[in-house]
Amino acid sequence: MLFFSLLLTSCLVLTFAEDDLQGYCDAKHQSCNIHLEEDEKYILYDVNPPEGFNLRRDVYMRFAIMMSEAQKHENMKNWKLVLPPWYNLYHWKTVDSSHKPVPWSMFFDMESLRNFAPVVELYEIFPKTKRKHFEINRLYILQNFPDAFENGIFDDKWEIDKDCHYSGSFWGYNNITVKEIDCVKFQGRTSMLLELISLHPSDKYVMFAHGEIPLHDYYGSKSFWDCRKSMKFSKKLIDKARKYMSENLNCIDERCSTYISIHWRRQDFARARRKDVPSIKGTVRQIDKAIKKYHPHILDVFIASDAQNSELEQLENQLNDIGYRVHFYLPSSSDLQEFKDGGIAIIDQIICSHAAFFIGTHESTFTFRIQEEREILGFESNTTFNRFCPDTGKCEQPSKWTIVN
Ligand SMILES: Nc1nc2c(ncn2[C@@H]2O[C@H](COP(=O)(O)OP(=O)(O)OP(=O)(O)O)[C@@H](O)[C@H]2O)c(=O)[nH]1
Ligand SMILES: *[C@@H]1O[C@H](CO)[C@@H](O)[C@H](O)[C@H]1NC(C)=O
Ligand SMILES: *[C@@H]1O[C@H](CO)[C@@H](O)[C@H](O)[C@H]1NC(C)=O
Ligand SMILES: [Mg+2]
């Protein structure tokens, strides 16, 4: 039967994989220990094309945690996670950055990532093949079950399915091919992917499409936070943000007391989630209220936003009118060339992370990543988990996902 529930512990599955490899080794060779090449496995994954940068960071964590756990098993020591390049992201409007796949080293500190999980960039594994094409042994296309709550319960399960198609583009590379495609309805924890992998132990390059479908094994656990802490930004982005903070916001500390920050998400949010976001006037009122209540001495407000200039000007003018100094990080064209849209957004996030007080946008993953960063920096949680409320109607405060050290 091709239907598994999580009754099958990952331990059982690991043993199964090991036995299989063992058999293979014994038949061909004397001992298993020397055949590192054969145990080598590369796990690739891809994410639903419309998803933004910050959800993709969370998807990475689910895979990285699985790989870090796998490394503890003798027969998975040579498994590596291939970092999917950043390609053609919907929000990245600068023409230059949408055409070439961007490696992770552009945004993250690779050594820090590698200290948590065995990761490699895609371009680093190309030289491993002598062929003209890079052939992936098996692509699992993950899909949701049509009814997540069958019989009223949300069970962990997967099932091989008949029809599906790959909606991605292999990050724009036309020299990547796949040998086999398996369609899989999937619901549950990321570590359950090991059950799929173990079905074909001789596959060397295994890829998952729709990597956003598997969920965190333990959201908010210690391993979650260890992984999150390892996602340090690249040095040049940190340096740039630091320089801005010292020159414009009068702060060189980890935790600044000189300014408050806001993430004011507009664009698709202002259109599709009008019930959750305030008007410009409402935004000004909420900023003023928070400062008067918690930091009456602060005059400087840093704004991270994807809003249009006309909206930002109005927001700035109205804040100026009541006595605040407003700051934006405005990239020069050479900054934009160097850091790309993704890097500019990260610089905004870093500056928000160090502020005395932060107000974010309801259910924006961009905001969530800032909140996590502030937890890592050691801010009191009440300075972090604050959101803009709509002008009228109810307004639930954000859940506090506090750090576990
Ligand atoms: N520079 C900058 N870019 C932003 C800002 N807010 C949003 N963006 C851009 O818009 C993208 C937002 O997409 P996501 O990263 O998916 O985050 P989100 O859309 O807020 O959250 P979800 O839709 O829930 O995933 C970011 O990755 C940035 O590229 C901002 O304050 N500054
Ligand atoms: C695929 O093409 C890219 C350039 O488009 C190249 O850098 C890479 O080495 C190629 N991969 C293989 C396996 O030939
Ligand atoms: C946050 O809580 C601490 C006590 O835990 C308190 O001293 C501080 O004033 C609070 N700050 C805000 C912004 O509410
Ligand atoms: Mg988004």
CA of 383 from ligand 3 middle (Å) equals 7
Vertex 213: Cα angle to 211 and 389 (nearest 5) = 110
Which residue ranges have their beta carbon within 6 Å of ligand 2? 126, 129, 132, 134, 173, 175
The answer to whether the 2-228 and 233-383 domains have the same CATH topology is yes
CA of 387 from ligand 4 middle (Å) equals 17
Cβ–ligand 1 distance for 341 under 6 Å, the answer yes
- Calpha distance 105→112 (Å, rounded): 11
Instruction: Classify strands 157-161 and 176-187 as parallel, antiparallel or unpaired.
Output: antiparallel
Q: Which of 341, 329, 331 is nearest to 102 (CA)?
A: 341
CATH hierarchy code of domain 233-383: 3.40.50.11350
Instruction: State how far the alpha carbon of 39 is from the alpha carbons of 8, 9, 72, 194, 336, in Å.
Output: 23, 22, 14, 15, 42
Q: Which two three-digit tokens encode residue 198?
A: 């173990």
Q: Which two three-digit tokens encode residue 338?
A: 């160097």
Residue nearest to atom 14 of ligand 2 (CA): 132
pLDDT confidence of residue 33: 45
Q: Which one of the ligands is nearest to 267 CA?
A: 1
CA of 132 from ligand 2 middle (Å) equals 8
Annotated catalytic residues are 51
pLDDT confidence of residue 212: 98
Cβ–ligand 1 distance for 344 under 6 Å, the answer yes
pLDDT confidence of residue 13: 41
Choose the residue to mutate in 48, 51, 54, 276 for probing ligand 1, maximizing ligand atoms within 8 Å of C-beta: 54
CA of 52 from ligand 4 middle (Å) equals 4
Choose the residue to mutate in 380, 383, 385 for probing ligand 3, maximizing ligand atoms within 8 Å of C-beta: 380
Domain at 2-228, CATH class? alpha beta
List the chain domain ranges. Answer: 2-228, 233-383
pLDDT confidence of residue 149: 82
Q: Which one of the ligands is nearest to 355 CA?
A: 3
| Residue ranges in the chain modelled with pLDDT below 50 | 1-35
pLDDT confidence of residue 83: 98
- 349-397 residue pLDDT tens: 999 999 999 999 999 999 999 999 999 999 999 999 999 999 999 999 9
pLDDT confidence of residue 36: 56
Q: Which two three-digit tokens encode residue 334?
A: 């050479």
